């Protein structure tokens, strides 16, 4: 149980970064830093987080941090983990160092899926955090494999014929579970107790652990910056983004939403879905989305029941 007053006040992710006002990634970085247990190294993929926090000669990071490229956070982390182990074998006295890879949905679901798959299959001891704002935000809000159905992005625009992204969000936890890793979980920074607990849990796993944390993007989702946390709370309260975990082969629902708000409330609050409401109320798409939310929720309940 995370008690806010007991969390360290030290900010290993310092102020002065240039993330947008209200960016979920700033909050997520800070929460992640509160969950560390000892010496830690961060490997970051290209994305908003990396770009805004390390503009030479400034860095917001107060721990060892490296950015290499877009698609290979998991591969780089694999190299880091094994190098520390190899050097220990040859007698270098360093003590254990935790390695955390951080990438966006772009660098994870799409271009980064190969490297993540390889790293999970090889079983390296690291935590992989996918900071998921549901599009390639850094390059200008283009769709990713994580973008929800019906969302307006610059490469899946809401046009006269096609109302936003035709495809559905990829199931990252399912992919991780298929690799048989010990721990994979979803999270939302609106629920800081759950997220911080999960980060620490992921660090403590001896092997690969993956957390997919939903990150609100005022610019890309088109909502007021003040409502960032509200957005990722609504995502959970509507069952749009279920909070659950896969641990040692068993699924567990962490936040049971017994009286869900209609998915429409999540959609209505964001400009990226505004074309579903004006000029015409797209009942067809909204119903489709609700059906998918319900089916996905039931699927997860079933997985949990069978565990």
Partner 1 sequence: MAATVTEPGSSLKYKTGDWRAFRPVVNKEKCVNCLFCWIYCPDSAIIREEKWVEINYDYCKGCGICAHECPTKAITMEEEKK
Partner 2 sequence: MGMTGDEAVAHAAKQSNVDIVAAYPITPQTIIVERFSKYVADGEVHTGYVCVESEHSALSACIGSSLTGARVFTATSSQGLALMHEMMYIASGLRCPIVMGVANRALSAPINIHGDHSDMMGSRDSGWVQIYVENAQEAYDWTIQAFKIAEDKDVQLPVSVNLDGFIITHCMEGVDVLDDSVVSKFLQTRKPMFKLDPEKPITVGALCFTDYYYEFKRQQVEAFSRIQAVLDRVAKEFKGISGRSYSAIETYGMEDAEAAVLCLGSTAGTAREVAHRLRAEGKKVGVVKIWLYRPFPIDEVRAALKNVKALAVFDKAISFGAQYGAVCSDVVSALHTVDKSPRIFNVIFGLGGRDVKPSDIEHVFNEALETARSGVVKQETLFLGVRE
User: Using CA atoms, how far apart are residues 274 and 187, in angstroms rounded to an integer?
Assistant: 25
Give the contact letters, 13-42, x = binds to partner 1 (CB under 8 A), - = no.
Answer: xxxxxxx-xxxxxxx--xx-----------
Binding partner of residue 170 among partner 1, partner 2, none, CB cut-off 5 to 8 Å per kind:
none
Beta-bridge partner residues of 211: 129, 185
Nearer to partner 1, 33 or 77 (CB): 33
Closest listed residue to residue 29, CA positions, set 104, 135, 109: 104
Q: Is there binding between residue 7 and partner 1 (CB under 8 A)?
A: yes
Length of the chain: 307
Q: Which positions touch partner 2 (CB under 8 A)? A: 39-41, 43, 50-51, 54-59, 61-69, 71-72, 75-80, 82-87, 89-90, 97, 114-115, 117-118, 121-122
287: contact with partner 1 by CB under 8 A:
no
Rounded least distance, CB 295 to partner 2, Å: 32
113 binds, among partner 1, partner 2, none (CB under 5 to 8 A by kind): none
104 within 8 A of 47, measured Cβ to Cβ: yes
**For residue 40, is it left (φ>0), alpha (ψ between -120 and 50) or beta?**
beta
Q: Which residues of 264-300 are buried (b: 16+ CB within 10 A; e: fewer)?
A: bebbebbebbebbeeeeebeebbeebbebbeebbeeb
**Contact between residue 149 and residue 289 where contact means Cβ atoms under 8 Å apart:** yes
Stretch that binds partner 1, among 60-68, 129-137, 203-211, 292-300 (CB under 8 A): 60-68
Residues at the interface with partner 1 (CB under 8 A): 4-5, 7, 9, 11, 13-19, 21-27, 30-31, 53-54, 56-63, 189, 192, 218, 224-230
């Amino acid at each position: 149980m995370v008690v806010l007053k007991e969390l360290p006040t030290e900010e290993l992710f310092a102020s002065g970064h240039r993330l947008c006002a209200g960016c979920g990634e700033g909050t997520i970085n800070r929460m992640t830093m509160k969950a560390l247990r000892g010496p830690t190294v961060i490997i970051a993929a290209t994305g908003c987080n990396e770009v805004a926090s390390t503009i030479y000669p400034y860095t917001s990071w107060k721990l060892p941090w490296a950015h290499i490229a877009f698609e290979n956070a998991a591969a780089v982390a694999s190299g880091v983990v094994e190098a520390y182990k190899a050097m220990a074998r040859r007698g270098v006295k360093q003590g254990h160092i935790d390695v955390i890879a951080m990438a966006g949905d772009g660098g994870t679901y799409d271009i980064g899926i190969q490297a993540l798959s390889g790293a999970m299959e090889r079983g390296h001891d690291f935590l992989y955090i996918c900071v998921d704002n549901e599009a390639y935000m850094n390059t200008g809000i283009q769709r990713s494999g994580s973008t929800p159905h019906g969302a307006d992005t610059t490469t899946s625009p809401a046009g006269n014929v096609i109302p936003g992204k035709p495809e559905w969000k990829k199931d990252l936890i399912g992919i991780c579970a298929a690799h048989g890793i010990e721990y994979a979980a979803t999270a939302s920074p609106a629920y800081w107790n759950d997220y911080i607990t999960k980060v620490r849990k992921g660090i403590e796993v001896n092997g690969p652990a993956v957390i997919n944390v939903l990150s609100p993007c005022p610019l890309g989702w088109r909502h007021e910056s003040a409502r960032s946390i509200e957005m990722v709370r609504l995502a959970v309260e509507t069952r749009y983004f279920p909070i659950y975990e896969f641990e040692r082969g068993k699924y567990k629902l962490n936040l049971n939403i017994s009286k869900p708000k209609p998915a429409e409330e999540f959609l209505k609050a964001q400009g990226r879905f505004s074309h579903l409401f004006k000029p015409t109320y797209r009942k067809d798409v909204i119903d489709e989305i609700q059906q998918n939310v319900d089916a996905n929720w039931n699927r997860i309940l079933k997985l949990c029941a069978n565990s």
